[in-house]
Structure 1
Amino acid sequence: MKDSTRAVLGIALAIVLIVGAALWLGRDAASSGRTVLRLRVWDQSFVAAYRASLDEFERANPDIEVRITLVPWASYARKLRLDVAGGIADDLFWTGMYEDYADAGRLLDLGGPDAGWDRFAVGQFTRDGKLWAVPQFVDGGSAVYYNRALLAAAGVDPRELRDLRWSPDGGADTFRPVLRRLAGAGTWPYNAAKDFQSLELPYLGSAGGALQNPAGEFVFADDAGRVAFEYLVRLVADGLSPSAADTNSGGDFAKNAFLQGKLALFQSGSFNLATIDQDAGFEWGLALIPQGPAGRISANNAVGVAGNAATRHPEQVRRVLAWLGSAAGNRYLGLDGNTIPAVVSEQRVYRDYWAGRGVDVSPFFDVLRDGQTGAGGGPGFPAALEAMDPILAEMFLGRVPVPLALERAQAAATDAVRG
């Protein structure tokens, strides 16, 4: 056989295989006898839990098959936006900021919320009295991970962390003195940084401020905002936290510094718990974040599953959503300690998992007793965050005074929402 003939046959065979694979992957109710739905998520670590939950659903609903699509976080928001606009998004998909899709009629109206879900999650996904996504998991509040060896080297008892207070009044501030004691034990005592959920929102809320008012207007450039951000920026300027040149690009620098034993206190959320438990080569613990002038206030972000209004199978999608939002379907997400289920009754499986590993996760829950600060939302909110970010980055670098930076960031966020 000539080489040219082999080449032609090889190409033909490849085409047959590709077409066959495409037909197999795209088979629907007509060919498999079942309605095939697709669920899009951005985190590989959730796939096994969802697969176990959906397998149970499929055993009780043999007419439906649900496949999981993984789109990495880095490209998730942009790809989802394009796919929804093009009418090719998955039947169900994870979402946190859903308002633009809901207002554009791109989501299924799910009616009223279920009383069994975390109330913060219900509030996040309810708009104009309607539920637009089924809550799946919550982060809880921020907490402080601490390195026991570094605390011991500085003569700081972990029990001292329970009642620490940060304040613009040096006489009332008990947090900074502890950070100074820790300064000699490791490279840095703490991770003050441009970290929206774990640091900026808790400090803003604990100062008595808010990102937005009830009308959705940005209001963080007020006196409370200046108190919160001036305190954070000063910690960086005084060398009590890593340089903003290192941390402005994201939270991984501080997390890695903690895992390397260079950071004594790492303020973050439950989403880093599994990684720290697995990778920390030292004894560590969890403590409440320091109190501010208005107490301990933290954000409690949630992720939900929305139904694509363009799906060809809306009734089947609603059945899947009902399962994922039920106690039986939602509990799978907490069984391996990966996240906190949004169904309140099933949050015990998360607590039980970590208790079995000797980790007290109560700081993630107890911090919310004083209240919760809103993580923001509304039409155009993603664009507002994008507009604010470079301005706040310059502020943490010390290049723009805090009051001026906050005014500019607030104006930029407002303009972005207005379009």
Structure 2
Amino acid sequence: MAPTKDATRAVLGIALVAVLLVAAALWLGRDAESGGRTVLRLRIWDQSFVSAYRASLDEFERANPDVEVRITLVPWASYQQKLRLDVAGGVADDLFWTNLYEDYADSGHLMDIGATLGPQAAEGWDPQAVRQYTRDGKLWAVPQFVDGGTAVYVNLDLLGQAGVDPAELAAARWSPDPEQDTFRPLLRRLATVSAWPYNAANDFQSITLPYLGSAGGQLQRDGRFDFDSPQGREAFGYTVGLVTDRLSPSAADTSSASADFAKNAFLQGRMALFQSGTFNLAAIAKQAGFRWRVAMIPAGPAGRVSANNAIGVAGNAASAHPEAVRRVLAWLGSAAGNRYLGTAGATIPAVVSDQQVYRDYWTAHGIDVSPFFDVLRGNEIAAGGGPGFPAALQAILPILDEMYLGRLPVPDALARAQREGNAALTQQ
């Protein structure tokens, strides 16, 4: 028998009420599995940090039984684009990792950390990280960890086969003047025992910034790109020359879209020197089947210069639970909450008092990580930022790829990359 119109309306009415109740529960961050607790979501891009964050947040939840924090993992390859879309659509997680935050801060999408946690909250955090996340006098993220400086992972077995003393590497200097350059001759000796002595490439953090800085150049000036300079041409001319001379892998293998090629070549024993950061330390310690150590990067005309990037966690200003978000931010920025990121040697905590935990871990495993810290005792090069920076970097990197492939001369490539990068900034 067909249902009456009244019965149909009743069924539809019940269904509508059910939908509204589910929607309300989701909006409130509560569901049957949470036991009535407020549910927050923390978005990150690295699977290797899930266990450390889970341990930290479990401790937080024991002290705050009314709040549950769930971790959302979005892979790095799609993270920035998805975050932009989700923030614009009002569906971003309550808390999320960020390293390029300026657009979100300027558009009012982030919590003001000073107003949220109080003006004294930043006193225990890495000063560089605080500077990185400060804009217009306000702090927009709680620093979570810092990369430290750039160093060189050294295959000691290959050095020994080539008759290169580690002390020679420690004293190595790169220079556009062949009479002063001691690094390239050293690489030529290593080329006799390894497929690739070194990893010069379009690697923004590990190669571009250290060489540009050690040449005496800079990435930006007054918010505009400024790498098309005499110092920039010296730095890029040197690293491109290493690829041309086959002292580093082909740019077809190490383009900006192929980040792991050099690391894998090092782990396979095919590369003698791998210049990189602390973010590769755990993988190398676990997988390297040869004797290795960490050494200082080669000095340039302006000495040894490195960037020191930090990752922060931001509070979503549109979160339905600002008070719960405040408590989580305070926990993740505390010594007790932040130390979990350093206990397994995964990264350098941004809370200064916790950084010794990281050093102690690696010391106990027989690895001296001091080069990552010592390189920062001198000058540092800013890693860049500002409104529109992600889009500008996307415009620049493919041009530098063409330069490393030998399809564009260094001066032409730098002029074009700087012009298009600044044009992208202007469009914001």
TM over 0.5: yes
The correspondence of residues 12-411 of structure 1 with structure 2, limited to 5 A, is 26=26, 28-29=29-30, 32-111=35-114, 112=119, 114-213=122-221, 215-248=222-255, 249-411=257-419
Q: What per-residue deviation string (whole Å, max 9, x for no partner) do you get for residues 146-203 of structure 1?
A: 1111100100111222121111111111111111111101111111000000000000
For residues 190 and 136 of structure 1, what CA distance do their matches in structure 2 show? 31
CA contact (8 A) 1:219 1:410 kept: yes
Q: What per-residue deviation string (whole Å, max 9, x for no partner) do you get for residues 373-419 of structure 1?
A: 11110000000000001110111111111111101000000000111
Q: What per-residue deviation string (whole Å, max 9, x for no partner) do you get for residues 192-219 of structure 1?
A: 0000000000000011111001x21110
CA contact (8 A) 1:195 1:250 kept: no
Q: CA RMSD in A?
A: 1.7
Q: Tell me: CA distance 1:30–1:254, structure 2 relative to 1, closer, same or farther (3 Å).
A: closer
For residues 196 and 86 of structure 1, what CA distance do their matches in structure 2 show? 30
For residues 208 and 262 of structure 1, what CA distance do their matches in structure 2 show? 32
Q: Tell me: CA distance 1:30–1:264, structure 2 relative to 1, closer, same or farther (3 Å).
A: closer
SS in 2 for 1:286: strand
Q: What per-residue deviation string (whole Å, max 9, x for no partner) do you get for residues 16-35 of structure 1?
A: xxx9xx89x94835863321
Residue type at the aligned position of 1:344: V
Q: What per-residue deviation string (whole Å, max 9, x for no partner) do you get for residues 263-285 of structure 1?
A: 00000011001111111111111
SS in 2 for 1:277: helix
For residues 31 and 205 of structure 2, what CA distance do their matches in structure 1 show? 46
Superposition deviation, residue 74 in structure 1: 1.2
Corresponding residue of 1:15: none
Corresponding residue of 2:14: none
Residue type at the aligned position of 1:37: L
CA contact (8 A) 1:148 1:283 kept: yes
Q: What per-residue deviation string (whole Å, max 9, x for no partner) do you get for residues 333-361 of structure 1?
A: 00000111011110111111111111101
SS in 1 for 2:234: helix
SS in 1 for 2:123: coil
Residue type at the aligned position of 2:238: Y
For residues 303 and 217 of structure 1, what CA distance do their matches in structure 2 show? 23
SS in 2 for 1:115: helix
SS in 1 for 2:112: coil
CA contact (8 A) 1:161 1:290 kept: yes
SS in 1 for 2:323: helix
For residues 396 and 31 of structure 2, what CA distance do their matches in structure 1 show? 49
TM-score by length of 1: 0.92
Residue type at the aligned position of 1:315: E
For residues 203 and 28 of structure 1, what CA distance do their matches in structure 2 show? 47
Give structure 1 regions of 4+ aligned residues with deviation exceeding 4 angstroms. none
Corresponding residue of 2:5: none
Corresponding residue of 2:12: none
Which runs of no fewer than 5 residues in structure 2 stay unpaired? 1-18
SS in 2 for 1:53: helix
Which runs of no fewer than 5 residues in structure 1 stay unpaired? 1-18
Superposition deviation, residue 119 in structure 1: 1.2
Residue type at the aligned position of 2:70: R
Residue type at the aligned position of 2:378: D
For residues 36 and 188 of structure 2, what CA distance do their matches in structure 1 show? 67
SS in 2 for 1:66: strand
For residues 108 and 375 of structure 2, what CA distance do their matches in structure 1 show? 36
For residues 28 and 92 of structure 1, what CA distance do their matches in structure 2 show? 13
Residue type at the aligned position of 2:399: I
Residue type at the aligned position of 2:98: T
Percent identical: 71
